Structure 1
Amino acid sequence: MSYHASVALQGAVYQCLRDDPALSALVGDAVFDAMPIEPPSGVYLSLGPEAMRGVHDSAGSVARHDFVVSVLAGTEEGAGFRAVKEAAAAACTALEGAQMELGQTRLAGLWLVKSRARRVGNGAERRVDLTFRAVIDLN
């Protein structure tokens, strides 16, 4: 099992989120693969942890990637979860409908597995973690 599909998937997810017009209307260009030293103001997205598992059978090989996209807002977004949840919904729509090019591999499916909304920091900051599953055909 090779981990090489992970690099292509991460790049495709990042580009898909950056290029989506509905998401851009909500967060501008505040989509990060590597977080800046100072957190941005307003609502922003960050690519997070990923776990990969390979599956081999008589039909071939696939890689199952579970990855997190976090939608966050600092204390200046004190109106509650609305803005964060709107951006999370736009991110879901963008990713679940995407046709992603992954080089020598093929994206067989991508869907939302779970989400978690919570207050963080001193309770005034908001965060939604979206866990997606991508299945990549390695044949």
Structure 2
Amino acid sequence: MSYGVSVALQSAIYQCLQSDAALNSLIGTAVFDEVPGGTIPSTYVTLGPEIALDRSDKTDAGALHRFTVSVVSDAPGFSNSKAVAVAVSDALHQTALGLSRGHLISLVFERAAASREEAANLRRIDLRFAARVEDN
């Protein structure tokens, strides 16, 4: 197994979301690796948890990275959050990300879960993707 592509993959995903015109029209540049302190935007996207599984073969070291991108919003209802989630999904759907190390074999959407965080009056949509990478 190789976890060596993980930083390159995360960086490419972040750059893809930061530069996507449709997503920018909805939330500007409110895409975070970590939510900043202080005043946060009403709606934002954050990179979340990741699990990496070995997918090496006889010739190449590789991994399957299952990662979450979350949409968080204090806007009422789910309509706004879902529009942002659609933009995230569209931006990453079969995107040919250029990695600084290794290369991307595939990037696919796996599932989404929408929830309310009542105590904070937030809506949250967690989108899970799977990226198959090789480190060669």
TM-score (norm 1): 0.90
- The equivalences for 1:73-112 within 5 A come to 73-74=73-74, 77-78=75-76, 80-112=77-109
- Stretches of structure 1 that go unaligned for 5 or more consecutive residues are none
Q: 1:50 to 1:39 in 2, by over 3 A?
A: farther
In the TM superposition, what is the alpha-carbon distance from 1:39 to its structure 2 partner? 5.5
Offset at residue 59 of structure 1 (A): 5.3
Q: Which residue pairs with 2:12 in the alignment?
A: 12
Partner of 2:52: 52
Moved segments of 4+, more than 6 Å: none
The partner residue of 1:130 within 114, 127, 132 is: 127
| Distance in 1 (alpha carbons) for counterparts of 2:73 and 2:119 | 12
In structure 1, distance between residues paired with 2:108 and 2:37 = 31
8 Å Cα contact 2:30-2:43 kept in structure 1: yes
**What do the CA deviations read for 1:34-64 (whole angstroms, capped 9, x no partner)?**
2112351321000011110112334533210
Percent identity (aligned): 40
Distance 1:2 1:62 in 2: 6
Deviation, structure 1 residue 2: 2.5
For residues 94-139 of structure 1, what are the alpha-carbon distances to aligned partners after superposition, in whole Å with 9 as ceiling and x for unaligned? 0114221112311010011111001014273100000100000224
**Which runs of 5 or more residues in structure 2 are unaligned?**
none
Distance 1:38 1:121 in 2: 21
Worse-matched range after superposition: 128-137 or 113-122: 113-122
Q: How many residue pairs were aligned?
A: 136
The 1:39/1:81 distance shift into structure 2, 3 A limit, reads farther
**Alpha-carbon RMSD:** 1.5
Residue matched to 2:115: 118
Deviating more after overlay: 84-93 vs 115-124: 115-124
CA deviations 1:54-79 (Å, max 9, x no partner) are: 123345332100010000002xx12x
TM-score, with structure 2 as normaliser: 0.92
